Amino acid sequence: DAKTTQPTSMDCAEGRAANLPCNHSTISGNEYVYWYRQIHSQGPQYIIHGLKNNETNEMASLIITEDRKSSTLILPHATLRDTAVYYCIVRVADNQGGKLIFGQGTELSVKP
């Protein structure tokens, strides 16, 4: 089972920041938080990942709380093309090479 919980859906106005929350209260010290998004009928697109520190790249920022029990993905200036399902995944140290376990994700709708 996925170790994360996310809201089922969210709306965001075009040009505004989209803040997508994720809870992962059972995360262990060596487990990473990954974010992917999937636009209908396409393969999941990697966005960003982090362990303890906040991270930023050209697509987004990832804010991880100090206790690591939750995180927020921030898309600073959402566009219509950011409409997608966003998956927050805790990558678990297992005997299967650290597979990704996808939950239901958050369906983000960016509206004009």
Partner 1 sequence: DAGVTQSPTHLIKTRGQHVTLRCSPISGHKSVSWYQQVLGQGPQFIFQYYEKEERGRGNFPDRFSARQFPNYSSELNVNALLLGDSALYLCASSPGLGLGNTIYFGEGSWLTVV
Residues near partner 1 (CB under 8 A): 30-32, 34, 36, 41-46, 49, 51, 87, 91, 93-105
Residue closer to partner 1 (CB basis): 14 or 32: 32
Pairing of the two strands 70-75 and 18-23:
antiparallel
Structure tokens at 101: 């376990």
Smallest gap from Cβ 17 to partner 1, in A, equals 24
> Do the beta carbons of residue 110 and residue 12 sit within 8 Å?
yes
Smallest gap from Cβ 16 to partner 1, in A, equals 27
Structure tokens at 28: 């262990």
